[in-house]
Structure 1
């Protein structure tokens, strides 16, 4: 089951259409959830009956849209009440993934992520895909891009990306971005050696990961893109230059007794990427 959060802008948001395509590719049913924020409706002079009627009408419209699809899957729309982010996360627990729209605000080309989407990504226990407004999956035919770091925590994100690649018959592009560490020297030759060593290490890392996954999936087309610079900017630029269909990054999850935190790279990518971003958390013990 794939879950997608919807609101009154569902016709213009790219989230529902992206989720519908994902459900069709996976041959899994889709559940579209509209959450009425009960915390807002506790305000004085609220009109709960009118709000409920509008919400019911919206869910009915979405259900008709789902029924008109050609995939013949058991897709449905559901109305729930509560805090939007918490309710969506609880509903989607144990599902394949949760899809939400970005709904950010800002005057720049790259819009910031909305508060509900960011909270969902932080606390969800399943992969979360954040889709920009007006995104049309059929307009983009580039590879699926996955950001690769230095640790084994990349296994989950790469596995998710591989599944997306198989479904879409697209190439898989592994992007590894490295930064030159501080070199306390004025010796140009020493700096040049550090740059060459860093580039060689990064290239080996990228090729090693590609080789590992090529052995598992010999039929896949796997590309390696190694870049030097800031991780967020490098990953976003790589995805834009190849017109990525999807950008997959790893999150950061701590033990249940501590706070759950989103890594700085994942947060930066979510705020500034112009394509759908999937965040796949890795479980950590500390």
Structure 2
């Protein structure tokens, strides 16, 4: 294993899994999720503790202790599988996104869901999820594996940004030997009169046909994968979160178009799901041209 205490500002890009860590890593759940993924994919794991250069220009003893503690845990869990921890200096969100830019995924933790933390979530996990160029997994605080067989749920919106999310969800469901559930939540646009029942029925029928068409294609390409569908109407973010909760989802996957943070406004649906999802959430980007 390489030196855990090395301070770095750049890292050689490899097809590895990156996980962001801090002093609360034991309660965050992110390290455990990253370990599971590394074992399933036989992928290298890099645990990165970023020191904000606006507060501290060099690693301190606490940062080194955090990296060493995580390193010992990874030794126990991963054995000979390639892994190491390091300290990086810079803007936490931008540094994590940069280091993970050519990796398989970036895993970060999410702190709590109370009202104050809902307002503060943008400080890291939201910024990383919105601006990351690789799949970003956001793991709720104190998440632990359940061992239950709930599905991988992927939100379907019909846009060009959705396809990479579906691909990632299929791959994860196959790796974890779980069902895949396609969820589409639609709402009648405000320009249409809400008291015309036929209009809602037409939208429902159209959405149902498109969802089943997508599911049939996946079933044909992945005959060993159980593919389920669920259609809901209402607010998209609330419907997606509710569907994942009721299904006991082991992972919720949503698509997105990566944006520079904070130069562009984040997608409100992505942020709504991010703030309220009770299970690990994968944001899988289609990069804007």
| TM-score, normalised relative to structure 2 | 0.87
Match of 1:115 among 117, 123, 127: 123
Cα deviation code 1:24-51 (max 9, x no counterpart): 1111011110111121126xxxxx6xx6
2:267 corresponds in structure 1 to 263
Aligned to 2:5: none
Pick aligned residue for 1:217 from 222, 238, 256: 222
The residue aligned with 2:235 is: 230
Q: Cα gap change, 1:110/1:123 in structure 2, threshold over 3 Å: closer, same or farther?
A: closer
The alpha carbon displacement at 1:168 in A equals 0.6
- Alignment partner for residue 273 of structure 1, among 271, 277, 284? 277
* Consecutive unaligned residues in structure 2, runs of 5 or more: 1-15
Unaligned residue ranges in structure 1 (runs of 5+): 43-47
Aligned partner of 1:45 in structure 2 is none
| CA apart distance, 1:73 | 0.8
CA distance in structure 2 between the partners assigned to 1:282 and 1:33 by the alignment: 25
Equivalent residue, structure 2, for 1:164:
172
Range moving further from structure 2, 161-170 or 73-82: 73-82
Alignment of 1:18-167 (within 5 A): 18-41=33-56, 52-70=60-78, 72-104=80-112, 106-107=114-115, 113-167=121-175
The question of whether the paired residues in 1 share the 8 Å contact of 2:111 and 2:117 is answered with: no
| Aligned partner (choices 236, 239, 251) of residue 246 of structure 1 | 251
Q: CA RMSD in A?
A: 2.4
- Summarize the Cα distance change of 1:8–1:140 in structure 2 as closer, same or farther, 3 Å threshold: farther
* Change in CA separation of 1:175 and 1:111 when aligned onto 2, cut-off 3 Å: farther
- Native 8 Å contact 1:63 1:76 kept in 2: yes
Query: Of the two, which has the highest radius of gyration?
Result: 1
